[in-house]
Structures are given as C-alpha cells and as structure tokens.
C-alpha cells in the first residue's frame, strides 16, 4: 500500500510540473532550475512577484487576447492573457525563473520612460525596445529575444506608394514615434529632404498617416503588418529596410546594473536551446514575413 501511495504521489508531482509548460497556463511553476538564480535570491522590486512593465495600449502582435478581465485598465489587449508574442515570452521567462502565472504583475510604463535613467518600478520592461549603445549607458539590456527590421507603411494610391528604393523616399514627409529606432532610421539612413514628424505615441502617428499629414510611417516590420491589417485598411507595407550592420534586436530593459538581467539571459538561452522561443515566434509572428526589401 505504501508503494502505491508513493507512486501516486510521484505521478501527481510530475503532473503539476508539466502543467505549466505552455506560457499562459495557470498551474504552479516549479522552482527555478537555473544555477545561481533561486527565486528567493533574485533582485526584485516586490518579494515573490515578477513585475513586468509595458506600454498601454498593448498592441498586437506583441499582445493579444483582448481585455477579458473585469475592471482591466489595459486598452486593446490585457497582457495578463499571456497571448501575443511579448506576453508569451515574458511568461515563458517567468516560468524558467520559477514564477507561477499569478506571480507575474504587469505595470503600465510609457515607452520613453522604460529606458530613461533612474530607479525602476518594474523588474524588467518588454515593449519592442531596441538595444542601442546610448540606451545601454543608463539601463541594462537582456540578450535579444527578437531580431527585427524596420519597415515603412504608406496609403495605397498615393505618390509614395510607387517608390521602390530608399533614395526614392527622400522627397516625402515621413513620421515615427518619438524616441524609437524607427525615427533614428529615418534621420540616419533615409535622410529625407524635410524634417520627419515625431509623435508621442504610435497611434498618433498612425492617425497622421490616415489623415495624410505624413506620406509614410516607419515602424518595425511586425507592427507594420498590424497597422495595415487593422489600423489603416487602405494602407500597405511599401517594404522593409535591409538589416543594419550588427543587426537590430529587441531586449528586455532593467534598471542599470540589476543582477536579474543575468538570470533572464540564462532563461532566454534555455528557451532558445529548447526551441520554445522559436515556437512562440512562429505562433505570434509568422505573418510578419514576405515584405519586399527597399535598397
């Protein structure tokens, strides 16, 4: 009888450990198996809780599932659904570090504030934040969780819609969100003849494109697919830009010097090695392919 009870207990432990395999499961996570990264020893803003920052609205394909929770303050999508690429990545990392889904707390953090100098109220921020040397002087970045190209969205039937090269974009009024690498790409790579327009939020930039206050909107490629599919129905992706030297990539952002970054990097390495990160990317970003390259 004792052997039967022990066997049943072992099976129960195995079931609990495997129930949280997919990001978004509400089952308990097992203790972190990452050497030197015991949950109790992590440098967190709140004991026993992983606080993750991101902007609001939470746009697809980075976040998904809508806002199904009563009283949710999130617009478009609630990150707590664990749906969408960045939400799924955050929960997969949390699982690697030994957190249950209920131990992950999402915190609204404006994009520009995420990589500003000073103390942080989040443990890490995940919000399509590209690594740059200037940003890395005041915050700590994780390793890449997504390598990205910039792209340009235009309105069908406009003059710019027939352009087929980067050089051909120079006469047009272009725009991007303030503080983004999209804006820097306009300034440093395209170098248009008129000063590009900047907007505090990407939804304002999208509205300017719809109103034809700008001719083209530069965003990362997956966002470009969402803009054309949902926000600007008569929009089209004119093309994506060539990969820059060294490549552009998104990283999670931490307060400068936070040792948690090292443990998150180990978690990301595990997810890459196991193929889990690739599966998450395939699930949520599979459509973000096929745009022509402008040269």
Where in the chain are the domains? 34-147+250-285, 150-240
CA–CA dist 167, 192 (Å, integer) = 9
Pick among 3.40.50.970, 3.40.190.10, 3.40.50.300, 3.30.70.20: CATH of 34-147+250-285? 3.40.190.10
Task: Give the residue-averaged pLDDT of 161-186.
Answer: 97
Q: What is the DSSP letter of 31?
A: P
What pLDDT score does 244 carry? 74
Is pLDDT above 50 for 258? yes
Task: Give the residue-averaged pLDDT of 247-266.
Answer: 97
What pLDDT score does 29 carry? 45
CA-wise closest residue to 192 among 205, 201, 183: 183
Is pLDDT above 70 for 48? yes
Is pLDDT above 50 for 4? no
What pLDDT score does 32 carry? 65
Task: Give the residue-averaged pLDDT of 202-208.
Answer: 96
Q: What is the DSSP letter of 123?
A: S
Segment holding 225, helix H or strand E = helix 221-226
Q: What average pLDDT does the structure give for the chain?
A: 89
Whether residue 153 contacts residue 217, with contact meaning beta carbons closer than 8 Å, is answered with yes
User: How much is the pTM?
Assistant: 0.83
CA–CA dist 4, 237 (Å, integer) = 62
What pLDDT score does 154 carry? 98
How many CB atoms are closer than 10 A to CB 65?
18
Determine which of 52-66, 130-144, 236-250 has the lowest per-residue pLDDT on average.
Answer: 236-250
Domains 34-147+250-285 and 150-240 fall in the same CATH topology = yes
Fold (CATH) for 150-240: D-Maltodextrin-Binding Protein; domain 2 (3.40.190)
Q: Would you place residue 141 in the very low, low, confident or very high pLDDT band (cuts 50, 70, 90)?
A: very high
């Amino acid at each position: 009888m004792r052997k039967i009870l022990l066997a049943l207990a072992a099976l129960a432990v195995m079931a609990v450990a495997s129930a949280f395999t997919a990001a978004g499961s509400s089952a308990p996570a097992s203790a972190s198996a990452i050497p030197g990264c015991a949950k109790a020893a992590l440098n967190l803003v709140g004991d026993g809780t992983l606080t993750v920052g991101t902007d609001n609205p939470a746009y697809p394909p980075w976040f998904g599932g809508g806002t199904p929770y009563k009283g949710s303050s999130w617009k478009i999508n609630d990150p707590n659904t664990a749906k969408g690429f960045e939400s799924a990545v955050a929960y997969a990392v949390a699982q690697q570090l030994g957190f249950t889904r209920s131990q992950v707390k999402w915190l609204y953090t404006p994009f520009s504030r995420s990589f500003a100098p000073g103390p942080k109220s989040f443990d890490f921020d995940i919000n399509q934040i590209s690594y740059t040397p200037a940003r890395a002087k005041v915050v700590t970045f994780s390793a890449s969780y997504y390598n990205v190209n910039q792209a340009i969205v235009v309105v069908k039937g406009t003059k710019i819609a027939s352009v087929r090269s980067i050089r051909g974009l120079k006469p047009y009024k272009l725009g991007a969100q303030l503080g983004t690498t999209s804006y820097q790409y306009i300034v440093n790579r395209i170098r248009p003849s008129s000063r590009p327009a900047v907007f505090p939020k990407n939804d304002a930039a999208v509205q300017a494109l719809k109103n034809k206050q700008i001719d083209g909107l530069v965003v990362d490629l997956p966002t470009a697919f969402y803009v054309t599919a949902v926000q600007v129905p008569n929009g089209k992706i004119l093309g994506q830009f060539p990969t820059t030297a060294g490549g552009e990539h998104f990283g999670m952002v931490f307060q400068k010097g936070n040792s948690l970054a090292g443990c998150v990097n180990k978690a990301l390495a595990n997810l890459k090695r196991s193929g889990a990160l690739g599966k998450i990317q395939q699930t949520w970003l599979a459509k973000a392919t096929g745009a022509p390259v402008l040269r």
